[in-house]
Amino acid sequence: MAAFIHGIIRSAILIPSFLIVFASVGHSGVVVFDQVTTLKTAIYLKVLTKGRIFSTGGQRVDIYVDDKKLKRILTGGDGYGYLKYTPRRLGLTRLEARSDGDRDTAILMVFDKSDKIILIDVESGFKKSILSDQVRAVSRKAVETLSKTYKLIYLNTLLGTGLSKSLLRKERFPEAATLKWQGVATLKALKQRGINLYAIIGSAGVIAAAAKYIEHRYTFEETKEGQTAEDWEEIVELIEKDAKKKQAVPENE
């Protein structure tokens, strides 16, 4: 019950703050989703065709990667369509879906298996920055600092992926894929793709779910499943401190 009430309070705080961002998210009849994988590891690019409110199936969608058309697919009865794709180069790739005059863009991030990845829960990590220019500047600088050493993946929990992406873009946070958080299933899927999950920053509930999968876990809330920080500057300090500890441990231990 306590967790349920906490979730309601979080929603009450966050949702009004995001309304201005929501207003900037336009309607589109097709949606393409961000994806992540490792080099030469196949994934399924995912699209959704929809009307004003509900999804609409049986629609033709052209899928592009870096402006090169891959294939035209047909969405199923639920509105979703999939295309298997194996990336051949590292880095950030642009995805685009076009259907009946509508279009949408997303990104595909292709990592090396040695890359250290940090997952960041958008709603928990940046909720304080919405109401303060100073906090927003500090959090953005901290994430930029982390992005110089680590690769990033954003997670959205309470809000839609499109809304989270719009917020990050509007506030000029480092560009990275935004994935829908589905608990342990998200972590298992990333692991299966060979992605090296180095750390996670999020709510107490999110990092608790990651306890068996990710060694380094950080939150701004009280928890026994990770380390609690007061602000983003302390998050960076904790990550750097833990990295130095790991480097100091001999490989044979």
Per residue in 15-60, pLDDT tens? 444 444 443 444 569 999 999 999 999 999 999 998 766 778 899 9
DSSP secondary structure letter of residue 174: P
Q: At residue 121, does pLDDT exceed 90?
A: yes
**CATH architecture entry for 30-111:** Sandwich (2.60)
Q: At residue 2, does pLDDT exceed 50?
A: no
Instruction: Tell me which residue of 212, 223, 234 sits closest to 146, measured CA to CA.
Output: 234
Per residue in 87-97, pLDDT tens? 999 999 999 99
Per residue in 7-16, pLDDT tens? 434 444 444 4
Q: pTM value? A: 0.86
Asked if 61 and 30 touch (Cβ cutoff 8 Å), the reply is yes
Domain range list for the chain? 30-111, 117-247
> Angle at Cα 60 formed by Cα 57 and Cα 62, nearest 5°?
130
**CATH architecture entry for 117-247:** 3-Layer(aba) Sandwich (3.40)
Residue 127 pLDDT class (50, 70, 90 cuts): confident
